[in-house]
A and B are shown apart, each in its own frame.
Chain A
């Protein structure tokens, strides 16, 4: 569920490689701003504020390796398929 909205003129950046494609854009809340990262292929999105993003800057690549231990994301948490969120 998105409480923040993209403002016209904020560019959408796509970052892709052979294995994944995500779109990244700035979104506005009533009082601030977040960065939205969306995966159209798997149907997930996340909105990260500055503090959360800052914490990413000191993560070792191992953090992401751990995230990727379930390659399809929450579809397989608890060992059973969850419903895909609406993209």
Chain B
């Protein structure tokens, strides 16, 4: 183990702590509906995707579509989505959902440049709306790339791989 505590992952312990803090802070912004602040966490060239998952035989797993996504966004379309949610006509989120993003099992690996890290983590999003006790659960793996921009970590790429082939949600009017 190195003096910085880089360990087997090749990523210094202080960077791992910063990454965890980033993920937890991001989850807080999403769950508190502070979406304008959330947009500030994204790089200008961010790509945000959620591929379609398929049921395939063993050997073809994990069957993740390279051709179709539930989200395929860049900063422009993410801003558009947030702007829409701010209008008086975004019925799907007015009244808003109550969400809780549980972010766990984060593994941090060196990225392609010294200013980047690749992070995989498990995410469970609990979502409840209205008076019903019935809830949505969205489970999946995030494959993120974070980049240090001006001293702060930002999200440069997210691929959220869902665990359901048929999503158990009426809509995806929230972010994962």
Q: Which residues of A contact B (CB under 8 A)?
A: 14, 16-18, 21
Contact = CB atoms under 8 A, between A and B. Distances in A.
Interface residues of B, number: 4
Contacts, number: 8
8 contacts: A14-B59, A16-B57, A16-B58, A16-B59, A16-B60, A17-B57, A18-B57, A21-B59
Contacts of B57: 16-18
A42 B98 CA distance: 51
A14 B59 CA distance: 9
Nearest to B60: A16
A21 B60 CA distance: 11
Contacts of A17: 57
Q: Is the interface of B mostly helix, strand, loop or mixed?
A: loop
Instruction: Sort A-B residue pairs by CB-CB distance and give the 7 closest, nearest first.
Output: A18-B57, A16-B59, A21-B59, A17-B57, A16-B57, A14-B59, A16-B60
B59 to A, nearest CB: 5
Nearest to A19: B57
A13 to B, nearest CB: 12
A21 B58 CA distance: 9
Nearest to A17: B57
B63 to A, nearest CB: 12
A1 to B, nearest CB: 28
A11 to B, nearest CB: 16
Contacts of A14: 59
A16 B156 CA distance: 36
A14 B57 CA distance: 13
